């Protein structure tokens, strides 16, 4: 039996319109379907208060059987493989072309971002940033996610302590 035969009309359009590298996921909204999957690659970071650095990364946007994706990111130091940063959360559609990214970090932060989904790109703006009392003084974060074929790229801007919103991270990953 063709696995697309079990999809609802709204979701079968998503499977048909997504790239050949994007597998169909019956419960994933069509606007989020290009993001679904396991991605591996590299990233680079820079910030005025630290030395530039490089890292490897694995990101997963996993179908859950519900109309959202579970999000997980893990980074490691290039060469040594030492764990660096991790975060997890959810990517969900809140309107036909608007997504929300909810993120929790073990460094004491939670983030909620919203943005328009247009042609495989989500420009996310911060709605809420909450921090534990002993978290570093981060005041703002902005994210952008983009899928083109089998490539996922992202950028992250951060305002920390006295430094205004500044580009901090860029990642380029391939679908695994």
- SS3 of 26-68: the string is CCCCCCCHHHCEEEEEEEEEEECCEEEEEEEEEEEEEECCCCE
Do 113 and 99 touch, CB atoms closer than 8 A?
no
End-to-end Cα distance, the chain: 25
85-133 per-position pLDDT tens digit:
999 999 999 999 999 999 999 999 999 999 999 999 999 999 999 999 9
- What confidence score (pLDDT) does residue 16 get? 37
Do 117 and 14 touch, CB atoms closer than 8 A?
no
Q: For the chain (length 176 residues), average pLDDT per consecutive 10?
A: 34 39 70 97 98 98 96 97 98 96 97 97 98 96 97 98 98 97
Strand bridging mode 98-105 / 109-118: antiparallel
- What confidence score (pLDDT) does residue 13 get? 37
- What confidence score (pLDDT) does residue 25 get? 63
- What confidence score (pLDDT) does residue 24 get? 58
């Amino acid at each position: 039996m063709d696995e697309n035969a079990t999809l609802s009309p709204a979701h079968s359009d998503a499977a048909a319109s997504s790239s050949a590298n994007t597998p169909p996921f019956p419960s994933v909204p069509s606007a989020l379907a290009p993001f679904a999957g396991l991605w591996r690659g590299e990233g680079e970071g820079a910030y005025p208060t630290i030395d530039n650095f490089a890292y490897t990364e694995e990101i997963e946007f996993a179908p859950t059987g519900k109309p959202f994706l579970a999000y997980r990111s893990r980074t490691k130091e290039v060469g040594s493989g030492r764990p660096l940063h991790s975060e997890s959360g959810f990517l969900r559609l809140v309107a036909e072309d608007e997504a929300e990214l909810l993120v929790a970090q073990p460094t004491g932060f939670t983030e909620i971002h919203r943005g328009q989904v247009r042609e495989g790109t989500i420009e996310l703006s911060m709605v809420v940033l909450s921090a534990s009392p002993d978290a570093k003084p981060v005041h703002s974060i902005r994210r952008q996610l983009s899928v083109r074929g089998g490539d996922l790229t992202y950028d992250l801007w951060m305002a920390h302590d006295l430094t205004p919103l500044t580009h901090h991270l860029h990642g380029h990953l391939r679908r695994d």
